[in-house]
Structure 1
Amino acid sequence: MTSLLALGVVSAWLVIDAQNRLGNGAAQVARERVAAIVQLLNTGAAPSDLPLLVRDSAYEVIDRTAKRVITCPGLRHGAFAPADGYKGGGDSVSVLRPGDVDLAMPESTGCQRTLGRDVEITETRVHVATDTSGDSKYRIFGAAVVDESGQAALDSVRVTLLAGVPVIALLIGAIAWFAVRRSLRPVEAIRSEVAEIGAHDLSRRVPAPDSADEIAKLAETMNTMLARLDAAVTRQSRFTSDASHELRTPLASLRTQLEVLLAHPDRLDWRDACRNALLDVTRLQDLVGDLVLLGKLDNAGPERFTPVRLSEVVESCLSGRQGVRAGIEGDPTVLGDRGRLERLLRNLVDNAQRHTRTGVEVTVSTVDGVGVLAVADDGPGIPAADRERVFDRFVRLDDGRARDDGGAGLGLAVVAEIARAHGGTVEVADHDGGARLVVRLPLARS
């Protein structure tokens, strides 16, 4: 429908424009002839002088009574002047029929080549222009033959377009329909595959065509998204399983202590039982707090950070701690959330203090335009094979140690997520005689 409308509009415009050009050529010639005759009459020439003064021109002059004064060529029946005669105005198109013109008449001298000899045997369309002499005695009509061959060609084009435009539009529509259907086959394949992929079957991928076009890019993007979803669902499932396990242990311990205390109140020291129960509640509270923070970091969108000086974060976190040394070089300022940056440093220091022998060292510096926060200890260190895994959730490298000492394995995972949320990174760097964890954060622009 759209192609039909567009072709129709364009075709109509072309025909109208060609018709206007065809008519304008004859109109211009007719107006020039009228203007030349008016100029002669205005300069004192009489209408009877016009055959001698005007050559190769077709015209008719009438007086106030609409009586023909002179004409060229000789007209038997028809006339250039309209029926209303002197009062008529404006251009018009007249048709000279066979018998209207007699080229053998004396008045036709000089007009043969203007109208053509075929005017006696065929209909001839002429454009007629009109004007009035300066003294208003005469009305002059000038005529010019409309190009019949051009008009015939235009009429032929008009008929052809009227018949051809619907056919061409239908052909274009059919070609476009088949082309679109063919080009959208990969899209349909992608759609049907996505429709069959369920939440528990994210390992499947959509077919990617070899066309190297936008559809291929769409399939690649869909597969990348499915891979991310698959990884996220797997991580979430593992996280849920680990979290339920970690929550179950302190809850079971707390319930057991309370049940034993209620069953044997005279055999247990209620103060020791409450103290142990408080430890389990504290462990639960810390674990839930870490889980809530990780959930917020996982679902956090773009945040509005403010400039934070890392030296102030170190001073706040290390205040009152024993066995921790601080070294500040350059005092870098980063964009971030001060509370979460303090949480990041506390987790790093807590982890280092659990494994160190003599003490922990915290350093702040600026390296290659990046703020660097490093925490080092002189403990047993972290094996090279575990330096990436240590930042996963619920990972404890020493599975045999007590949970009271080792925690739930979320501390470094929280560190990694906070660093990522701030556009930074965290890694285990090479360090002799212990572990050294380095956080790199982009500096705030001044």
Structure 2
Amino acid sequence: MRSTLGLRLGLTVALTMGGLFAVIDYLVDAELYRRFDVGLAARAQALTAYLGAPGAGRQLPIEALLPQFGGHGHTDFYQVWDGHGAVLARSASSHGRDLARPAQPSRDGAYYDLRLPDGHRGRALARVVPLPSDDPRGALLVVVAEEREALDALERRLHRILVTGTGGTLLLVLVLTAWSIRRALAPLDAFGRAVAELPLDGGGQPPPGDDLPSELAPVAGKLAATLERLLAALERERRFSRDLAHELRTPLAEARLLAELARRQPGIAGAHLAQLDAALAEMTKIVNGLLYLARVEAGSEQPQPEPVDLAALLAAQAERCRMPATDHGLDWQLRVEPCWVLTDAALLERLLAILFDNAVQHAPPGDCLRVQCACDPPALWLENAAPLLEPADLGRLAERFFHRHEGGNGAHSGLGLALARALATALGLQLSFTLDGGRLRVSLGGFAPVPADPAQG
């Protein structure tokens, strides 16, 4: 890109400077020739007035009035012919040699270049001067010439100045252009190096690209976001593989052991197969939980907000868990009031199911599970006893596979609260844990209330 940009800018500058040189050269040459021709026209006018006057032959010689035409001169010349082609007069500087006549002289005058009698290059003006009808000369052809060697030398000098100035300016512009391109693209080079050196093991962050030009900032931002998503996907894949290998190691070993026992003890194969089925169910639960957690963290589960009654969802979850809670010797205390919020019903229902199942699974027998919700602002709380939980454990509750055997059976995949945290994040909610007097309080807030109906206001 740098080479292409530099080449195009260089060609553009070169063409611009070349065009500017041509225009300036044309204007300077035109002005020089105009001034030169004005001088020729003035001398031709003087000669015409002198030679066309009656009794011109008795007047003083032209050289007396215009000494530049004298014999000592070698830059100014003139010659006059009558209508019959006879030479009437010529300048002393011609030393008897004729000036070249134009091909088509006219009364308005014709400018042309010629070789002067002394061999130098010159420029001449030829003008036809009509005379009265009774004048035997008929008409006069007046040619005034001047050496143009000095004009050509000045023109060449100006050309050299223009070429030198244009070339120097072009060189300076090219150097400044290359420097400007290098300086302007330095942030892009740094960004490219940072991207090239970015480790794909999750140990780095995509460069922000804040120093890039405004035209490239959106591209850098999109690239950084894409790289960030790629790194996050790689991290999720590694975490999924690591968790899967970690959690399936024990169930797989149990399944192999049960299969071996069933093979060796055919008489009690039914019991072993039942245990094998339970182990396979546990593995299925682990895999399904990991897959769903990966989808939520990847953003595949996008919320579809709709009006939802928190009280109805909480009551439904309490009813669903009533039988397992009774089996564990637990009781419920449900204090809810109608509270409508704007959220995704399916995702929130799964989130609440995880929280309720976690409370039922880990609360000690004889505990009373307390559920509350409020509307100002919308929030809900779920509380259960956790005698073995320490305050230092609160920060790790939502980690994968972190669990304690707290009086329940302890048989769970360890993904529940991690999945709950991911679902809360996807829904834009705040999930927090507090421990007070040996009781764990799970709080869920940040709900968006349903906008009031203006017709009911």
TM range (shorter): 0.5 to 0.7
Name the residue aligned to 1:325: 334
| TM-score, L = length of structure 1 | 0.58
Contact 2:362-2:408 within 8 A present in 1 as well? no
Tell me if structure 2 keeps the 8 A contact 1:381–1:435: no
Over residues 57-85 of structure 1, what are the superposed CA-to-partner deviations in whole Å (9 max), with x where a residue is unaligned?
xxx9x9xx9999xxxx9997658x95244
How far residue 377 of structure 1 moved from its aligned partner, in angstroms, is 2.4
CA contact (8 A) 1:18 1:154 kept: no
In structure 2, C-alpha distance between the alignment counterparts of 1:316 and 1:122, rounded to whole Å: 116
Residue aligning to 1:363: 373
Distance 2:422 2:145 in 1: 92
Indicate how the Cα distance of structure 1 residues 123 and 318 shifts in structure 2: closer, same or farther if over 3 A, else same.
Answer: farther
The residue identity in structure 1 corresponding to 2:423 is I
- Asked if residue 417 in structure 1 is aligned to residue 437 in structure 2, the reply is no
Cross-structure match for 1:436:
441
Tell me if 1:243 matches 2:252: no
**Matching residue of 1:5:** 11
Matched with 2:308 is: 309
Match of 1:345 in 2: 352
In structure 1, runs of 5+ residues without a counterpart are 37-44, 50-59, 101-120, 131-138
Partner of 1:14: 20
Which whole-Å deviations, capped at 9, do the CAs of 1:386-432 have from their partners, x for residues lacking one? 1121111111123896444xx12111111112122334442213545
Are the equivalent residues in 2 in contact too, given 1:429–1:437 (CA < 8 A)? yes
In structure 1, what is the Cα distance between the partners aligned to 2:254 and 2:123?
108
**Does structure 1 retain, via aligned residues, the 8 Å contact 2:354–2:417?**
yes
Hey, what does 2:267 align to over in structure 1? Answer: 264
Q: How many Å apart are 1:325 and its aligned residue? A: 1.6
Aligned to 2:400: 393
- Does 2:390 align with 1:383? yes
Q: Which amino acid aligns with 2:361?
A: R
String of CA shifts for 1:210-234, please: whole Å, max 9, x gaps.
Answer: xx966xx99xx89x96997996577
Distance 2:160 2:447 in 1: 75
Corresponding residue of 1:109 = none
Q: Is the 8 A contact 1:327 1:362 kept in 2?
A: yes
Alignment of 1:15-414 (within 5 A): 15-25=21-31, 83-86=103-106, 94-95=112-113, 98-99=116-117, 123=121, 151-160=155-164, 235-236=239-240, 238-248=242-252, 251-252=255-256, 255=259, 258-259=262-263, 263-265=266-268, 270=270, 276-301=275-300, 303=302, 305-309=304-308, 311=310, 313-314=313-314, 316-322=316-322, 323=332, 325-328=334-337, 330-334=339-343, 336=344, 338-356=345-363, 357-363=367-373, 365=375, 367=377, 372-380=379-387, 382-398=389-405, 402-404=409-411, 407-414=412-419
SS of 1:435 mapped into structure 2? strand
Change (3 A) 1:281 1:309: same
Whole-angstrom distance in 2 between the partners of 1:258 and 1:66:
142
Would you say the 8 A contact 1:96–1:123 is kept in 2? yes
TM-score (norm 2): 0.57
The total of aligned residue pairs comes to 376
SS in 2 for 1:439: strand
Deviations 1:87-129 (A, max 9, x none): 999x97x4465559xxxxxxxxxxxxxxxxxxxx975668x99
CA distance in 1, matches of 2:142, 2:254: 117
The match for 1:426 is 431
- Structure 1 residues 159, 239: closer, same or farther in 2, change over 3 A? same
Contact 2:389 2:438 in 1 (8 A): no
CA 1:176–1:192 in 2, change beyond 3 Å: closer, same or farther? Answer: same
Q: Between 152-161 and 229-238, report the one with greater CA deviation.
A: 229-238
Query: 2:167, 2:359 → 1: CA distance?
Result: 88
**Which one-letter code corresponds to 1:388 in the other structure?**
G
The alpha-carbon distance between structure 1 residues 302 and 238, as it changes in their structure 2 partners (threshold 3 A), is: closer
> Could you report, residue by residue, the CA deviation over 1:210-268 in whole angstroms, capped at 9, with x for unpaired residues?
xx966xx99xx89x9699799657744642332223542653575367447x5224xx8
Of 181-190 and 234-243, deviating more is: 181-190
Larger radius of gyration: 2
Aligned residue for 1:398, secondary structure, equals coil
2:421 is paired with a residue whose SS is helix
Deviations along 1:164-187, one digit per CA (max 9) or x if unpaired, are 689779977997999999999978
Any conservation in 1 of the 2:373–2:380 contact (CA below 8 Å)? yes
Secondary structure at the counterpart of residue 394 of structure 1: coil
- Is the 8 Å Cα contact of residues 21 and 163 (structure 2) preserved in structure 1? no
The amino acid of 2:317's aligned partner reads C
SS of alignment partner, residue 428 of structure 1: strand
Query: Would you say the 8 A contact 2:431–2:442 is kept in 1?
Result: yes
Deviation by residue 1:262-294 (Cα, 9 ceiling, x = unmatched): 5224xx8x5x66655554444333223212212
Identity %: 16
Highest RCO, 1 vs 2 (Cα 8 Å, sep ≥ 6)? 1
Separation (CA, whole Å) in 2 of partners of 1:19 and 1:164 = 16
Say if 1:290 and 1:410, in contact at 8 Å, map to a contact too.
Answer: yes
